[in-house]
Amino acid sequence: MRVVMLGAPGSGKGTQAKQLVQTYGVTQLSTGDLLRAAVKAGSPIGQRAKAAMDAGKLVSDDIVLGLIEERLDGPQGLRDFILDGFPRNLAQAQALGALLERIDLPLQAAILIDVSAEELKRRIAGRRTCRDCGAIYNVYTAPSKQDGVCDVCGGETYQRSDDNEATVAQRLATYEAETAPLVDYYRGHGLLHSVPGEQPVGAIFAALRGIADRLG
């Protein structure tokens, strides 16, 4: 299974990707994890990444693609993976496609967890997090029993600064401008599978399993 997960912030794609990993034993490739591992290992590309981060710069696409290639290519490389969080724009998608074709591991599917903008705003703006244990609630869909109090540890629940409505609107606007065009890109390549994301978590995962089983 060689899959890219697509979906806006709050769509639940990260949660679903983790369930696919647990069920099928594939590896979830996160650019953050790849960066940390390469820096820790001190590989040449890890040193380049560390230099960029130490200078307060964004890690360039060629470094991220190099990290992905380092993890996939060669006799000890992965043959099955789920990419979550990359690519984020068309240029990255095109470069990733060229890389995967070159190392003979072409992408099999791009799976979109499709959720409306209004529902995304509700999910993100309604999110509350416990300051002590990190448990997550939602005032609309999964509130704590007592407002402002964590059910697990009794700690205070709060709204993160980046979960307010203004910030959420900006995040969704960025997604629409940069990442949403990937949907058309992968549809044009015959790779897109769209799963409605406004249904129970179990139903979403059942649909994903149907897709994954067909990929083999």
Task: Give all strands of the β-sheet with 157-158 in edge-to-edge order.
Answer: 136-138, 127-130, 157-158
pLDDT of residue 130: 95
Determine the pLDDT at residue 25.
Answer: 92
Give the bridge partners for 158, in sequence order: 129
Report the C-alpha gap between 169 and 103 in whole angstroms. Answer: 39
According to the model, what pLDDT value does residue 54 have? 85
Q: What is the pLDDT of residue 190?
A: 96
pTM: 0.82
Give the pLDDT of residue 148: 95
How far from 9 is each of 35, 51, 56, 74, CA to CA, in Å?
A: 21, 29, 24, 33
Active-site residue 13, yes or no? yes
Catalytic residue check, 88: yes
What is the distance between the alpha carbons of residues 104 and 40, in angstroms, rounded to a whole number? 28
pLDDT, one tens digit per residue, over 11-33 is: 988 889 989 999 999 999 988 88
Cα distance between the two ends of the chain: 7
Region 70-90: mean pLDDT is: 87
Predicted local distance difference test score (pLDDT) of residue 203: 95
Share of the chain above pLDDT 90, in %: 56
Q: Which two tokens stand for residue 160?
A: 């993160």
Catalytic: which of 48, 71, 123, 171?
A: 171
Q: What pLDDT shows up at residue 199?
A: 92
Residue given tokens 């040193």 in the structure block: 47
Gap between the Cα atoms of 48 and 29, Å rounded: 19
> Per the residue annotation, which of 2, 13, 122, 128 is the catalytic one?
13
- Quick one: tokens of 92? 């990255």
Query: In the annotation, is 122 catalytic?
Result: no
| 57 backbone dihedrals φ, ψ, rounded to 5° | -100, 160
Reported as a single tens digit per residue, the pLDDT across 98-147 is 999 999 999 999 999 999 988 988 888 899 999 999 898 999 888 999 99
